[in-house]
Amino acid sequence: MTFAELLDQVGGMGRFQILNVVLLSSPIVFMAAHNLLQNFTAAIPSHHCRVAFNHTCDGGNASKKVGCTDLLKASIPTDSYQRVQKCRRFVTLQWQLLNPNSSEARGAEAAETEPCWDGWTYDSRVFASTIVTEWDLVCEFRTLQQMAQSIYMAGVLVGAVAFGSLSDKFGRKALLIWSCLQMAVSGSCAAFAPSFTAYCIFRFLSGMALSGVSLNCVSLSVEWTPMHSRATVSMVTGYGYSVGQFVLAGVAYAIRDWRWLQLAVSFPYFVFFLYAWWFIESARWYATTGKLDQALTELHKVARINGQKEQEQKLSLEVLRANLQKEMASAKSTFTVVDLVRTPGVRRITCCLFFVWFSTSFAYYGLAMDLQNFGVDVYLIQVIFGAVDIPAKLIAFIVICYCGRRITQALSLILAGLAIAANIFVPQDMQILRTVLAVFGKGCLAASFNCVFLYTGELYPTVIRQTGMGFGNTMARVGGIVAPLVKMTGEYFPTLPILIYGASPIISGIAACFLPETLNVPLPDTIEDVESQSVVQEKTDRSSKEINSHQDGVVLQTRLCKESTQDTSADSPLHDRPPKPGAPPL
């Protein structure tokens, strides 16, 4: 009897599993809010140099104040599109610009300018306050805005490495409880950060905690879910992230001050920390660490919640010892990150997932963190980006269930890459078409994310599942760190970021084709399980190729026989041929 059969005995997809998935999905909702938070807390409003001679013209409605329009024309130069420049101002007031038809106005346009020594004036009509307006992260300091997001993603990377291995050592529940507390405290502290440096430190800690939340939520849901329901559970948790994007758009629309917005998406983790104590630790993890008595206790709890009292009484330590020999054997071994590349089957999985995780996150955040450049209201585009996840993940769920994980993973990545790269050939003035292609690409990437979380959990065995998930998340966060940095290359070659964002998913989609299929395959518990499944699948693939080759050979042989027969008939002696009509007999 395998652990999957034990799980069916205590209720399968029963009352406990449903409640477990619902409660684990709630922290995932606000994960999306934290990942995409800087679209609003670090938004860049319209701005220009502060007018040094009249501070009453500062603010979003300065152009409507009496005299302010004229003062701005005389103080701030314009670009080739007659837009007010953001980073320069005239050294002296150029009043002659108020009469654009005069000869003096033409000379004033070339007047001496200087940087914004007195700071900037920001349009506060859309964003009342952001970290950009708080610490003047514009002009020569504009790269600090992207750096803040990269630092957050670096925290997610460090958290993936740290919490992945710690979860395999100390359990899923303990690390989930700690991660929720760390997220609540660090996120709330970021809302009261006195400086940009302090803000980045707290955001780094929030990123670490987010990895712990995501890794352990996924593992606790997958390891308590029967084989036939894993795809459904993955879709539900994936939709939790999609709902989070709607929640972020609504909360950000209602709260325009960045500090209160930061606090609003962080405080719920105090609630998650309190009810996380209710979660039942993974009995599968207990079994692979040799703690059968605790595994039995957890299985009894689940059977009781699912109303399987008879099965609860039947389960005993003797039953577990008799049926979980492999898990008990693995408990005597110590596993590290080296085990991800030690054996050929696991090594192939790790190498392919390296590309899949990296490129999915890289392209996803390249699109999702650039909402202000779509020429659409930032709150509306956030809703659109969240809405496209609904059909995308539903289609992915159907393909996952009927066609398998491998084809879903490969297809979603290749389509995403093609949609992103297509924008290279679309003119800038065709904003609607560019947005449609970006939204389609983002939907495909969301489907890829949904698939890879499930796929990774099914590919790696229980003894290194969290380590493998941590590795995958690490690669994803490397992609998230690199994404905003690649965007900076657009200042030198405008199409280069789009080309890179598009090529990466296509390459990783090809790499996904080399992963083994896990549809209707039991979760592996040991590395030996993965290696044996890999051998079986290779033999199956080889047999399929041989059968296809044999069939192709039979078809070819039949065709050659037919052609040979025709040729023989054509070259037969004259007396074997029927006489032509009207011809004299031989």
Query: Each residue of 516-557: pLDDT tens digit?
Result: 988 888 878 788 888 887 776 666 656 655 555 555 555 556
Query: Two tokens at 46?
Result: 């319209």
The owner of tokens 């993965």 is: 530
The CATH number of domain 3-43+134-528 is 1.20.1250.20: yes
Q: Could you tell me the two tokens for 102? A: 């005069």
Residues 161 and 515: their CA atoms lie apart, in Å, by 23
Whether 581 shows a pLDDT value over 50: the answer reads: no
Q: pLDDT tens across 168-222, in order?
A: 788 888 889 999 999 999 999 999 999 999 999 999 999 999 988 888 888 888 7
Residues 6+ apart with CB under 8 A from 263: 187, 188, 191
Residue 121 β-bridge partners: 48
Residue 319: burial class (beta carbons within 10 Å; 0-12, 13-18, 19+): middle
pLDDT top residue among 264 and 383: 264
The pLDDT score that the predictor gives to residue 203 is: 93
| pLDDT at site 153 | 83
Q: Rounded mean pLDDT of 366-372?
A: 67
Using CA atoms, how far apart are residues 175 and 166, in angstroms rounded to an integer? 8
- CA-angle at 212, arms to 211 and 218, nearest 5°: 90
**pLDDT band at 339; cut points 50, 70, 90:** confident
Distance, C-alpha 243 to centroid of its chain: 14
Tell me: the pLDDT tens digits for 28-45? 888 888 888 888 888 888
The mean pLDDT value of the chain amounts to: 79
**Domain extents in the chain:** 3-43+134-528, 47-125
Greater confidence, 303 or 91? 303
Whose CA is closest to 31, among 255, 275, 239?
239
Estimate the share of the chain in helix, then strand, then coil, as percent rounded to the nearest 5. 75, 0, 25
Rounded Cα gap, residues 215 and 468, in angstroms: 10
Structure tokens at 270: 């105090």
pLDDT in tens, 398-441: 898 888 889 999 999 999 999 988 888 888 777 788 888 888 98
Q: What phi, psi does 344 have (nearest 5°)?
A: -60, -40
pLDDT at 262: 92
Identify the pLDDT of residue 181.
Answer: 93
Residue 475: HSE in the Cβ half-sphere, 13 Å Cα cutoff: 21
Per-residue pLDDT tens for 76-90?
Answer: 777 666 677 777 777
Angle at 523 between CA 517 and CA 525, to 5 degrees: 125
Give the pLDDT confidence score for residue 109 in this predicted structure. Answer: 59
**55 has pLDDT over 80:** no
Contact yes or no for 481/551 (Cβ under 8 A)? no
DSSP bridge pairs for 122? 47
Q: What pLDDT is stored for residue 549 in this prediction?
A: 58
> How far apart are alpha carbons 154 and 121 in whole angstroms?
32
Residue 267 reports pLDDT greater than 60: yes
Q: For 287-331, how does the pLDDT look when each residue is reduced to its tens digit (9 = 90+)?
A: 777 788 888 888 888 888 888 777 777 777 777 777 666 666 655
Q: Find out whether 468 and 352 touch, Cβ atoms under 8 Å.
A: no
Highest mean pLDDT range out of 228-237, 256-265, 382-391? 256-265
β-strand partners of 47: 122
